[in-house]
Amino acid sequence: MSAPETECLATEAAELYAGDSGTLPFDTRRTLCQLLVGPYLDAERHALLWRVLERDEAVLRARLSELFLELVIDHELRAAFVRQADTGDLQAPILLRSSPLTFIDSVLLLCLRQRLAESDLQDQRAVIEEAELQEQLSVYQRITATDAAGFGKRVAASIEKMKKNSVLQKLRGSEQRYEIAPTLKLLFSAEQVHALLQNYRARLAIDADVAGDDEDDA
C-alpha cells in the first residue's frame, strides 16, 4: 500500500468515543500507544499490531515525528521501537524518560547480549538459567564492594528489571529458565559488547592488583 493510500486510511476513522477529535483508526492508535509505552513491539508477541505497523508505517512515523520521536524498525528481527529524534541544535522537549542503569544492570545486559551472540552462531534459541546469571555476575562483586548476600539481592533485582522490560522472557513450565529477547541486538552491537567487556575486565584486573598490594602491605 502506498503512503497516500495509508494516509487516506488513517484519516477516515469514525469518532471512537464522546469528544474524540482524533483521525486514526482504533487499531492504528493501539499500535501507536504500544510503541510509546515500549520497550518495543515485535511480530511474535504483538502479531496484530505488527501488521498494522506495516500497513500504516508512514502515518505512524509522521505522528511520532510531531513529538520529536523516531520510529526504528528492524525487519530482520521483526521488531520496532521509538527513540528520541536527533534534532541537532533545536531545543526540542524530551518525552521518553529512561531509568539509569546500575553497574549490575549494565554487566547483566552485556552477559545476555554475549549469550545471544553465541546462540546465533550455533543457530539456537538463547536460553539461560537464573542461577547461571548469578554465577556469571559473581566475578564483578569485588568492583561493587558489597557482601555476597547484598550482591545477590542486587543481581536478583536487576534480573527482575530485565523480566519487566521483556529482555528476559520466562519459558513455559520453568521458573528459573528464560529466553533472551532477540531485540537486545538493537541495543548493543557485537563490537560494543566486546569493548565494554574488555573495559570491565580491565577494572577487575586493577581491583585485583590493588587487593594484592594491600595484602603485601599488611
Q: Where do the DSSP E strands lie in the chain? A: 41-42, 69-74, 79-84, 127-129, 168-170, 177-180
Name the DSSP class of 32: H
Start and end residues for every CATH 1.10.10 domain found in the chain: 103-217
What kind of fold does domain 103-217 have according to CATH?
A: Arc Repressor Mutant, subunit A (1.10.10)
pTM over 0.95: no
34-63 mean pLDDT: 93
CA 38 → CA 35, 187, 218, distances in Å? 5, 14, 53
- Model pLDDT for residues 67-79, shown as the tens digit of each residue: 999 999 989 889 8
pLDDT at 105: 86
d(CA 38, CA 138): 30
